Structure 1
Amino acid sequence: MTTLMPSPQLAQLNVARLRFPLDDPRLAPFVEMLDPVNAAADAAPGFVWRLVEDGEADATGLRPLGDDVIVNLSVWESQETLWDFAYRSGHLEAMRGRRDWFHRHVASHLVLWWIPAGHLPTVAEAAERLTDLRTHGPSPRAFTFASPHTATEAAAHARGGESAGV
């Protein structure tokens, strides 16, 4: 009898460097969107998990990549479900204001990678994938929406000698 393995899931990290402290009135529109956007993500088809600070509803208090850098780390069933949430939901409204709230990105700010079902990526793992993308460009190990790779490609890449989560 063959046992089916659960389908790999897609992890994503995006980072943003704040223009102002979170309690600054100029960031109020962003802060006001956090709870509704996070609730929408939690209820979105394909959503699996997102990083939150202990005892909080989001991860904005965590600053593992710098005092002025906020991180968003989540897991989704597929690239399509993440895309639908990011670009076909209320999340898009939050993205429209990003230039008012965050510094312009000079390097990649979003990285995607495949993980085994049930694995919860750490911030250190996510930061390593972002560094990989920034250093080597898109690959099956670390990619973007504009340069996607399948879970099958990631698994084949991992079998080729690199250690990866799939």
Structure 2
Amino acid sequence: MPRLALYTFGVLKSPLADPSPATHEFYDIGEAVYRKIGQQPGYLARAEAADGDRGVLFEADWGAWGEFAVPAWYGKGRTVETTALATTLSLWTGLRPAFEAVYTGLHRGALKRRHDWFERAGHPTHVVWWVADGVTPTWQDGVRRLEHLHDNGSAPHAFTFRDAFTPEGTPTRS
């Protein structure tokens, strides 16, 4: 049975290493959101770095999720001190569970505050697509599909919750 991959990407106003209260608040809320989402029905897994250090993204060992990658439009730092992005890659049993996890509860509250932490995007901030059972999407897959979505709009290959598709490629609603 196909599974749903979800890739999110946002550019932060400040680097992850910034000692400001806003950055600490972002981390605290983010950790609580991750714990809650991990308990959601339909959640299967998310990319996690083997070492788990804050801000270590580009050099981290991501195992089956592949080498870390970012969209071409990301122009900020790539070191622990300068990285200014937040990104996730996760797997779900279907469209409805992923949608509900993103747009309800604790994550919904964080979304309402996104402009406190993130730059306003001129690009999509998420992309979803179907993967075969047993396939682990990679960071490179997520980046390619997000860039495809930006350049071409929603299609069965790369879509949003608003303009979604079934595993067979038929348009559907979230």
Same structural fold, with TM-score higher than 0.5 when normalized by the shorter chain:
yes
Asked if 1:96 is matched to 2:112, the reply is yes
TM-score (norm 2): 0.79
Report whether the alignment pairs 1:120 with 2:115. Answer: no
3-state secondary structure, aligned to 1:105? coil
Preserved contact between residue 62 and residue 70 of structure 1 (Cα < 8 Å): no
Q: C-alpha offsets along residues 94-147 of structure 1, whole Å, 9 cap, x if unaligned?
A: 111110101001011110100012211110111111111111111010000110
Aligned residues: 147
Alignment map for 1:75-114 (pairs within 5 Å): 75-114=91-130
**Higher share of residues assigned helix:** 1
| CA-CA distance at 1:41 after TM superposition | 1.3
- 2:57 is matched with 62
Encode CA deviations 1:63-115: one digit per residue, 9 max, x unaligned.
Answer: 43243232111111011000111112211111111101010010111101000
Partner of 1:71: 87
Aligned twin of 1:158: none
Instruction: Name the SS of the counterpart of 1:129 in structure 2.
Output: helix
Q: Which runs of 4+ in 1 moved over 6 A?
A: none
Partner of 1:16: 10
Contact 1:62 / 1:71 at 8 angstroms: preserved in 2?
no
The percent identity for this pair of structures is 27
Contact 1:47–1:75, Cα closer than 8 Å, also in 2: yes
Amino acid aligned to 2:56: G
Q: Which amino acid counterpart does residue 15 of structure 2 have in structure 1?
A: P
Q: Distance in 2 between matches of 1:69 and 1:55?
A: 18
Question: Is residue 144 from structure 1 mapped to residue 144 from structure 2 by the alignment?
Answer: no
Among 113, 134, 149, the residue aligned to 1:133: 149
Report the CA distance shift for 1:74/1:57 in structure 2 as closer, same or farther (over 3 A): farther
Letter in 2 for 1:46: G
The letter of the residue matching 1:19 is: K
**Whose RCO is larger (CA < 8 A, sep 6+)?**
2
**Structure 2 vs 1, CA of residues 118 and 89 (structure 1 numbering), >3 Å: closer, same or farther?**
farther
**Aligned residue number for residue 49 of structure 1:** 45
